[in-house]
Amino acid sequence: MKSRVAYFGVFTALALIFSYIETLIPVNFGIYGVKLGLANLIIVVALYKLGPQEAFLLSVVRVVLSGFLFGNYFSILYSLAGGILSLSAMSLLKKSGGFSVMGVSIAGGVFHNIGQLIVAILVVETLSVVYYVPVLLAAGLLAGLVIGIAANEMLKRLKGLKL
């Protein structure tokens, strides 16, 4: 039980570091809101290693902390909506079974973008952002796949880690 708390701390630190690394990568795709979402790698691993409740808590803590450190009020709002929706989708798919880590991660990536899109629609009060749906879906799919492959490799190597 004690080690679970310690591991939760390690996961939080890792997620924060990955958020930081993400801010260092100067990739600009020319499209608002498209990025890899490196921190989600840790969230996916935590989902499999710690369980949905811990992953949920980790996701919220990660968003709030990295928001204070590297972002602003809006980025917290955005990431929180995306993170919660993404994690809900991932937990559901994982529970339903039949999906690999990649499949779960893809759903996470896609729903992360959908969550952000919903916030965008509510904040700017326009439906015209729906224009970005195909781009965001494709981007979420690709990012989710990459993150999923990485998470799968990580989980293979973490098999001995019993929490």
Partner 1 sequence: MKIGLKKKDWILILIILCVAGLTVLIHTYIGGSGANKVVVKVDGVIQGTYSLSEDGKIRINDGTNVLEISNGKADMIEADCPDQLCVNQRAVSRNHENIICLPNKVVVEVESSEESEYDAVTN
Q: Which is nearer to partner 1, 118 or 163 (CB)?
A: 118
Q: Does the footprint of partner 1 cover residue 53 (CB under 8 A)?
A: no
Cα 81 to Cα 8, 26, 101, 108, 141: the distances in Å are: 22, 24, 22, 12, 18
Within 10 A of 145 (CB to CB), how many other CB atoms are there? 15
Determine which residue in the list 31, 68, 95, 161 makes contact with partner 1, applying CB under 8 A. 31
Within 10 A of 50 (CB to CB), how many other CB atoms are there? 18
Q: Does the footprint of partner 1 cover residue 28 (CB under 8 A)?
A: yes
Alpha carbon of residue 111 to chain centroid: 9
Q: Does the footprint of partner 1 cover residue 46 (CB under 8 A)?
A: no
Q: Which is nearer to partner 1, 3 or 72 (CB)?
A: 72
Q: Which of 64, 27, 65, 58 lies closest to 40 in space, CA to CA?
A: 58
Q: Which is nearer to partner 1, 11 or 132 (CB)?
A: 132
d(CA 113, CA 84): 11
> Residues for the chain: how many in total?
163
Determine which residue in the list 65, 152, 154, 158 makes contact with partner 1, applying CB under 8 A. 152
Q: Does the footprint of partner 1 cover residue 15 (CB under 8 A)?
A: no
The site that binds partner 1 (CB under 8 A) totals a number of residues, namely 36
Residues numbered 86 to 115 that lie near partner 1 (CB under 8 A) are 93, 98-100, 102-103, 106-107, 110
Q: Which is nearer to partner 1, 28 or 53 (CB)?
A: 28
d(CA 7, CA 4): 5
